[in-house]
Structure formats: C-alpha cells, structure tokens
Chains A and B, each alone.
Chain A
Amino acid sequence: MLLSLEDATVRFGGRPVLDGVGLDVAEHEIVCVLGPSGSGKSTLLRAVAGLQPLSSGRVLLDGRDQAGVPAHRRGVGLMFQDHQLFPQRDVGGNVAFGLRMHGVSRPRQEERVGELLDLVGLPGAARRAVAALSGGEQQRVALARALAPRPRLLMLDEPLGQLDRSLRERLVVELRELFSELGTTVLAVTHDQGEAFALADRVVVMRDGRIAQSGTPLEVWQRPADEFVARFLGFENVVEGVVSGEAADTPWGKVPVPAGAEQGARSLLVRPPGVRLVAADAGLRCTVAARTFKGTHVAVHLQPEDGGPRLEAACALREAPGVGDVVGVEFDAAEIVVLDRPTAA
C-alpha cells in the first residue's frame, strides 16, 4: 500500500476531529473522501501531509511510519483549497518552487515548468503574474505546482471548490484524464458528490471524523451503507420499517424489498425512480405538494393522505401531475435498499 492510515486520531481540545480512521490507498488509485463540512476530511489530508500531528495512530507511506517526519520530507503533494499561490512570484516561479527546493538544475527546472504548463493547458504562461489569473487558471497553476516535484501521492483539498459550475464539470473530466495518463496516486477531499463520483476510483464517505462507507462510486450510489450516507447523497425517501420476507411494514404501507434482504427493524431507502405514480384509486393515496424541474425530469413531492413522511418521485416532464392533484403510489422492489444501522449515532 502506498498510503495507510491506522487508527489515525486527531483531537482539538479533547474533541476528536479524526476518530480512529483506517484507510489504505494503493498505487495509481484515485480515492475521494466525501463528507459534509466539519467531517474531518481536511484534517485527514493535513495529517497525511505532516501539517497536523496525530494524537494517536499512525500514518504510513510505502510501509514506513511517518511519525517525526516533517512535512517537507514526506514527498507528498498538497493542493490547497484556495490554491495558496505565492503572490510575489510569477506563474513559472510558483511551478518551479518545489523543483528548486529539491535542488533541480535551472535548465531542467525551466524544461519541466514548460512541460507542466502545457499539460495543464496554460502553455507559455510562465511569466504571467498570479494576481492576473482567473480562478480556473489559478487552479491549473496550483495543480502544475503540486505535480512538478513528482510527489508519490498527490492530495487535493476541495480542488474545484471555488469555481463556477460549468468550469467545475469540465475540469473534473480533465483531471480524471490527466491522472490516469500520468498514473498519479491521488487522495482528494470534497463535499460535492458529483465531483467525487466523477473523479474517483473509490469513494470514502466521512461523518464526524469517522469513515461511514468506502467503495466504488457505483457501490456507494447503489447501496448507501446507512441513513446518513443516503441522506448525504441527496436521497430523501428514507423511512423506518420492519422487514419480514420480501416486504416491509412502513408508514407508507407494505413496501416490497429485494429478495435476501436483512430481516427485522431497518431503515429503507426508496430511490425516486422506484416511486411509480398510478391512478388515484390504486396504491397509496397522495397529494402532490410541490414539483421542481430538474432538467431531465421533474421531482414530484408527495404528501401521503393518511399521514407519514413525504415522498419524492421522479417523473418524465410530460407525465408529471400538477400541484394539488391526487395520485396513487406503488413501489418498485428493484429501487429499494434495506440500509444498515448507522455505525455511530
């Protein structure tokens, strides 16, 4: 393993910000840590970089314990959230900084700066002042600077956080292509699930300093581990129920579950496509409370008439009922996930 965290814990004034985290990153792997703000994901990066000492536990790089190894000797790269370009140096000076620190000769520095600026799509920008760059350009320079000394592990802290949406969506594709081309090992953190799913080979969801789930983007999306992960991913249709056989008793009535589901009192996730609208006299009677246009579909918010939590359904634009309409709801077992109990309350 290139990077291993063993029971890594960081406490700020007694409060654990990182709480016994174990995480492995293999060579050439792109791992994305996903979590809401305050979940400890930036602290995780700082602990690996050597900027934040651990209260207990270990960080290993290439199997070697990094305790006592200062940040500048760890050979990892970190791209900061707001880039932190050196304002008094030009673009070339920023990119060459790490090379100078490693004693690379001047001609070789210039060559490598040129290479990197080509790579990030800013050819010939070496003499430009960093203050004159747009947000997207700064992001590219920060990336080039972090890549320049060929770190064995590149860490990205909210790499696209401050950019506008369209730029973000374009850059995330570029980054993914670039990293697979270079074979870079990447550990990134973000609060944006779209970014994480688009970038990562593996997604790690964090909550309150602990790892809530780890898996490929598809696994995490299809089978959120618990209610927290499901809600963090944006799913609203989570309800308590008692599973017996291939059905569950919920406030929404009997809901079918996939074969082989865990039995007993569980949380259930019903993905919006699994909420089928039928005639008002069939299934669960609901009133349409609101509808929001989502581009490819319409999200319809339904209030069951006999009480119970609201439901969200995804409808094609033309078939979507209007606000105040009464509809019936049936559930599709294939879109229903029986969740684990949350690991920590």
Chain B
Amino acid sequence: MAVPVAFFAVFFAWPVAAIVARGLKLDGVWQFGRITDVLAQSDIRHVLWFTTWQALASTALTLLVALPGAYVFARFEFPGKQVLRAAVTVPFVLPTVVVGTAFLALVGRGGLLDDLWGVRLDTTVWAILLAHVFFNYAVVVRTVGGLWGQLDPRQEEAARMLGASRLAAWRTVTLPALAPAVAAAALMVFLFTFTSFGVVQILGGPTFSTLEVEIYRQTSEIFDLPTAAVLTLIQFVAVGGVLALHAWTVRRRETALRLVDASMTARRPRGAGQWALLGGVLVSVVVLLLLPLAVLVQRSLDAPDFAYYRELTSDDSGVFLVAPIEAIGNSLEYALAATVIAVVIGGLAAAALTRRDAGRFVRGFDALLMLPLGVSAVTVGFGFLISLDEPPLDLRSSWILVPLAQALVGVPFVVRTMLPVLRAVDGRLREAAAVLGASPWRVWREVDLPMVRRALLIAAGFAFAVSLGEFGATVFIARPDNPTLPVAVAKLLGRAGDLNYGQAMALSTILMMVCAAALLVLERLRTDRTGEF
C-alpha cells in the first residue's frame, strides 16, 4: 500500500501541484484572481464549451452505435466472433495519434472519401466525433456486453412466467441490471473524449480545440503558464466529478446480480429481425472500425517499392536527429519499462484494495488511481520537467522519466483488470492454505498467483499497449534524439510534403501492428471475469 501511495505522490501529485503552483503563484503569493481572469476570456470559454459538447455528442454517438454491438457480441453466436471481438478492441489500444492519422487518411485532404466523392470532413467536427466513436466502441462493448452476456436469461424467463410481455420483461429485469454498466461505460467514454488530445490535435485543425489541446498550446507555444494552470485545474475538477460519478455507478454494479457463464447465454440469431441486427452491426464495425485501419495501411503502401518504409531508415530527412525507424526500438524499450513499473505498482495497489479489512482511506484510493486517466497528460509531462529537476530527485536527463510518465497511465488499467479477479478469489481458499501450513507469502504464491496469472498478463498487455501509445506526456519529456513512435508520427504529420505524410502513415501502421499483435495475444488469454477494459 505504501509503495503505490508514494509512487502517486511523487510522480503524479507533486508534478501536477508544482505546475499549478508555478502558474498561480507570483512571488510566493497565490493569485486566485487569475482563475476568473482566464474564465472571462471569450476564446477560453469557447474551448470549454466545445470540449463539453463534443464529449457529450461523442458519448451519445458511441452509445448509439455500440450498444447494438454490445448486444450482438453478448447474445449471438456467429462464425468469426472471436476474431471480430479482438478486432473491435484494436482501436482502443491504438495510440490516439494513429487514430487521428487513420481518420486523416480516410476523410482528410487526399483521403479516400476525397478521392472517391470529393468529400472532406477533416475541417468539420464530424471527423473528431467519428474518431471518438472508433476509439471508444470497445469500451461500451466490453463493459456493457461483458455483463450482458453473463446475465442469467432465466431471470427474464421468470418474469415472463409471472405474466410480463417480452418487452416488459426486458424493461423490468434486464434494463435495471444493465443500467449501471451503461452509465459506467458512458462516463468512461465521456472522460476519454473530454480529455482527448492526440485525435483533436491532428483532426481539429485551428478551428477546434479541447481543453487538453489548449493546455498544450498555452504551455508549449505561447508559454502562458498561468492560463495553462487554470485550465489544468478546471479539467482536474471536471474529471474528479466524472470519476466520483463513475465510482458510484461501479459500486451500484457490484450489487448482487445472478451471473452465469457467458457461453451459456449466446446462441445463433433466429428470424429475419435478428439476422438484420447482426448484419447492421457487422456493417457498422467494418465501416467505422476496420475501414480507417485498412485505409491507413493502404496509404502507407501508396508508393512504389515500400518507399515510405524504406525512407524511415534514413537519417538525413532533417526532421529528427536520428532515423525515424529508431523510434520503434525506443518505444518498445520505454513501453517495456513502463509495463514493469505499472504492473508492480498496480498489482500492489490491487492487492491492497482486495484486503477485506480495507478501510475508507484505501477504498478512496481506488478512485484516486483513476485520476491519471483524466488529468491532463500534458500537465503531467511538463510537471515532470519542472518538479523532478533538482536533488534529491533529479531525473530530467534520465531515460526513466518517459517510462514513469507512461506507467502512470498504465496503472489504472492494471488495477481495473486485476481487481475483479483478485476479489473473486474466495478468502477461505487462502485460509485453507494457511491452516495447511502456508505462510502469507506462500499463500499468495500458491493460491492467488495461479488464479490471477492470466489477469496479470492481460493487465501487462494493456499497460504495454497504453504506454506504447502515450502521447500527451511523452511529447514533452522524450528527448529529440530518442523520440517514441507517436511523437515521431506527430512530428512527421506536422511537416509538409508527400514523403513525410507517407512516412507518418508507415510508422502508424507499424505502431498499429505492434498494438494489434499485443492485443491478439491478450484475446487468447481472456479470463471469464475480466475487468472493465
């Protein structure tokens, strides 16, 4: 327990506090008046308004598209279901930069739609909304569909035997059981889209800017730290509110439901209506999820002899100090280190949260662990630079800085994946082992570990994929001679010329392949009781 708390204090709370203090303190005096000053600016108010409404619209759109998908994946049995399940999860672990790039290739200038019909959406809000649906589809399918598949259909049958119509049975039995999961998924989607950075940075152009993008702009382009600090605080409060709501719905979801094995509830679709539903979902998955990825790959190959890929190995392009291809090695090393840190910290935290005598403080920590998902990654990255730069903790020139920042985002995934599995281990099994002579450490190794091994691997995989794609914090602290893949992609996209564009597509494709490979391995390891992601 002490280790995760210390980790979060030093590498999260302190940097964030430092940057807020830097922005709001003048000669040691707090300048709270700046908050109202900043809020009075009309362009800031515009950013706030846009951030909120695009997040609401994205959430509504995602639910609209993904809920039928959740139902189909939960209740229908059809050929290729496993592969498709993995495929819809790929976008979620994809780096936001890649998502942005893929949509640029689909709806942007010279994109597929532009070629075919002359339609361009990259300067409209639709590109952002569609990219958000693409990104968060899996959140809804996994959170809602996971529960839906495990709801005991006999509950509905019991209601029907008592005289409820099919619709009434669904409305009175299934819907209430599902509602907390839908709410939790919606809040997660809202959180992710509210703090969206990479996608908006690439697709938003100069017109559209979320809080996170604005924080980045204020910090790194205008150097207006006070404004950035105020925006960080606003985002912090908003995210805290959403997380509190989320924690509440999660608790509601833990109320005793009759759950059965998901394989018992799925069956082949029957009748024209159900086949049409299945068909519709499949089409939406193909168009929304698979098409952008396919276009991305196609664009990266859109030059003779893999020219874009070969160009990645040359170091004379002038964009970087090194050949872009080296970013792959950097990324993998950083992501591995970040994964180890995230698994250790997250595992310890999950173990502490599982203890039955966990008090209020510990349970509160559960919600705090989610904060890094929502707090401005840009702030964290910049906070690292200004707070970890003097003894006793001078890490500014150390390579470990990047994995530390990335691990921060990975920890919530590790905790969310491990916690349900650890909680499902019957405490009396541990007691049985203790009575047979196993010390507490032996009990953990002999009872807990074999049961959570798969969950641990899944958690590690998620942490790895998330670390690999982390952009907001890394863009600040990765050194120019050691760029990561997402940073390199963003930099290439920022340059004019077909060659740079093509290289960005090629690098994104590589990044996508690595993430997809990690995910396919995970899908094989899926446990019956997975977490929320």
Q: Is A101's CB under 8 angstroms from B432's CB?
A: no
Q: In whole Å, how far is B367's beta carbon from the nearest beta carbon of chain A? A: 26
Residue A70 at the chain B interface, CB threshold 8 Å: yes
In the bound assembly, the distance between CA atoms of A51 and B429 in angstroms comes to 12
Known: A84-B426, A88-B451. A76 touches B446 (CB 8 A): no
Q: A84-B428, A84-B429, A101-B442 are in contact. Are A72 and B435 (CB under 8 A)?
A: yes
Q: How would residues 408 to 449 of chain B score, 1 for a CB under 8 Å from any chain A CB and 0 otherwise?
A: 000000000000000000101101111111111011001100
Which residues of the other chain, B, contact A71 by a CB distance below 8 angstroms?
431, 434-435
Are the CB atoms of B436 and A97 closer together than 8 Å?
Answer: yes
- The answer to whether B429 touches A149, judged by C-beta atoms less than 8 angstroms apart, is no
State whether A101 and B431 are in contact (beta carbons under 8 Å apart), knowing that A84-B426, A88-B450 are contacts in the complex: no
- Chain A residues positioned under 8 Å from B440 (CB to CB): 70, 72
Name the A residues within 8 Å of B442 (CB-CB).
Answer: 72, 101
Residues of chain A within 8 A of B436, CB atoms compared: 72, 77, 97-98, 101, 145-146, 148-149
In the bound complex, what is the Cα–Cα distance between A62 and B437 (angstroms)? 18
A86 in contact with B437 given A97-B446, A101-B442 (CB within 8 Å): no
Q: Which residue of A lies closest to B436 (CB)?
A: A98
**Nearest B residue (CB) for A51:** B431
Nearest CB of B to A70, in Å: 7
B450 touches A101 (CB 8 A): no
Contact A97 B451 (CB under 8 A): no
Q: Is the CB of B447 within 8 A of A72?
A: no
Alpha-carbon distance A98/B432, docked complex (angstroms)? 10
Q: Measured between C-beta atoms, what is the minimum distance from B485 to chain A in Å?
A: 38
CB pair B435 A51 closer than 8 Å: yes
How far is A86 from B450 in the complex, measured between Cα atoms in Å?
10
Closest to B432 in A: A84
Say yes or no: is A80 at the interface (Cβ < 8 Å to chain B): yes
Interface string of B37-80 (1 = CB under 8 A from A): 00000000000000000000000000000000000000000000
Given the complex, which residues of A lie within 8 Å of B437, measured CB to CB?
Answer: 72-73, 75, 98, 101-102, 149
The DSSP consensus for interface residues of chain B is helix
Given known pairs A84-B426, A86-B429, the reply for A76 and B447 (CB within 8 Å) is no
Q: How far is the CB of A131 from chain B (nearest CB, A)?
A: 13
Tell me whether B431 and A72 are in contact (CB under 8 A).
no
Contacts of B426 in A (CB 8 A): 84
Q: A72 touching B434 by the CB < 8 A rule? A: yes
A20-51 CB mask vs B (1 if < 8 Å, else 0) is 00000000000000000000000000000111
Asked if A300 CB lies within 8 Å of chain B CBs, one says no
Restricting to A113-167, which residues have a CB under 8 Å from any CB of B?
A: 145-146, 148-149
A49 CA / B446 CA spacing, docked (Å):
20
Closest to B442 in A: A101
Closest to A142 in B: B432
Q: How far is the CB of B35 from chain A (nearest CB, A)?
A: 46
Given known A-B contacts A101-B437, A101-B438, A149-B437, A78 and B432 have beta carbons under 8 A apart: yes
- Does A76 lie within 8 Å of B451, measured CB to CB? no
Q: Is the pair B435, A49 in contact by a Cβ cutoff of 8 Å?
A: yes
- Choose among B435, B439, B447 the residue with the greatest number of A CB atoms under 10 Å from its CB: B435
- Whether the Cβ atoms of B447 and A51 lie closer than 8 Å is no
Contacts of A74 in B (CB 8 A): 435
CA A49 – CA B442 in complex, angstroms?
18
Chain B: CB-nearest residue to A84: B432
Q: A72 near B439 (CB under 8 angstroms)? A: yes
Docked pose: A75 CA to B437 CA in angstroms: 7
Would you list which residues of chain A between 233 and 284 have a CB under 8 Å from chain B?
Answer: none
Question: Using Cβ atoms and an 8 Å threshold, which residues of chain B touch A76?
Answer: 435
What chain A residues lie within 8 Å of B429 (beta carbons)? 84, 86
Query: For residue A145, which residues in chain B have a CB less than 8 angstroms away from its CB?
Result: 436
Closest to B453 in A: A88
Interface centre among B433, B443, B450 (most CB of A within 10 A): B433
Which A residues lie within 8 Å of B434 (CB)?
Answer: 50-51, 70-72
Q: Which residues of B contact A73 (CB under 8 A)?
A: 437
Q: CB distance B432 to A80 under 8 Å?
A: yes
CB atoms of B447 and A86 under 8 A apart: yes
Q: Which of A73, A97, A145 gathers the greatest number of chain B CB atoms within 10 Å?
A: A97
**Residue on A nearest B429 in the bound complex, by CB:** A84
Name the distance in Å between A341's Cβ and chain B's nearest Cβ.
Answer: 39
CA distance A145 to B435 in the complex (A): 11
Q: How far is the CA of A249 from the CA of B440 in the complex (A)?
A: 62
Instruction: Kindly list chain B residues whose C-beta atoms are within 8 Å of the C-beta of A51.
Output: 431, 434-435
B322 to A: closest C-beta gap in Å: 47
Residues of B within 8 A of A98 (CB): 436-437
Within A72-115, the residues touching B (CB, 8 Å) are 72-78, 80, 82, 84, 86, 88, 97-98, 101-102
Q: Which residues of B contact A78 (CB under 8 A)?
A: 431-432, 435
Q: Within A179-201, which residues are at the interface with B (CB < 8 Å)?
A: none
Inter-chain contacts of A86 with B (CB < 8 A)? 429, 432-433, 446-447
Q: How far is the CA of A72 from the CA of B444 in the complex (A)?
A: 13
Give CA–CA (A105, B264) in the complex, Å: 44
- Nearest CB of B to A251, in Å: 47
Residues of A within 8 A of B451 (CB): 88
Chain A: minimal CB distance from B139 (Å)? 31
A-contact 0/1 string along B185-202, CB 8 Å cutoff? 000000000000000000
Chain A contacts for B438, CB-based, 8 A: 72, 97, 101
Residues from chain B with a CB closer than 8 A to the CB of A70 are: 434, 439-440
Could you say which residues of chain A place their CB within 8 Å of the CB of B432? 78, 80, 84, 86
Assembled-state Cα–Cα distance A81/B445 (Å)? 24
Q: Which residue of A lies closest to B439 (CB)?
A: A72
Give the chain B neighbours of A77 by CB distance below 8 A: 435-436
What distance in Å separates the Cβ of B378 from its nearest Cβ neighbour in chain A?
44
Closest to B438 in A: A101
Name, among B428, B431, B436, B450, the residue most crowded by chain A CB atoms within 10 Å (CB to CB).
B436
A135 to chain B, nearest CB (A): 17
Bound Cα distance from A265 to B516, whole angstroms? 84
Report the Cα distance A254→B428, complex, angstroms. Answer: 55
Query: What is the CA–CA distance of A146 and B194 in the complex, to the nearest angstrom?
Result: 56
Q: Which residues in A have their C-beta under 8 angstroms from that of B443?
A: 72
Most buried by A among B431, B437, B447: B437
Query: Which residues of chain B have C-beta atoms less than 8 A from A88's C-beta?
Result: 450-451
Q: Which residues of B contact A148 (CB under 8 A)?
A: 436
Residues of B close to A97: CB separation below 8 A:
433, 436, 438, 446
Q: Which residues from A are CB-within-8-Å of B446?
A: 86, 97
Kindly list chain B residues whose C-beta atoms are within 8 Å of the C-beta of A101: 433, 436-438, 442
Binding site for A on B (CB under 8 A): 426, 428-429, 431-440, 442-443, 446-447, 450-451
Q: Which 7 A-B pairs have the closest CB atoms?
A: A98-B436, A101-B437, A71-B434, A84-B432, A78-B435, A88-B450, A72-B434
A-B residue pairs in contact (CB < 8 Å), sample of 24? A51-B435, A70-B434, A70-B439, A71-B431, A72-B434, A72-B437, A72-B438, A72-B442, A74-B435, A75-B437, A76-B435, A78-B431, A78-B435, A80-B431, A86-B446, A86-B447, A88-B450, A97-B433, A97-B436, A101-B433, A101-B436, A101-B437, A145-B436, A149-B437
Known contacts A71-B431, A78-B432, A146-B435; can you find 4 more A-B pairs with CB under 8 A?
Answer: A51-B434, A70-B434, A84-B428, A86-B446
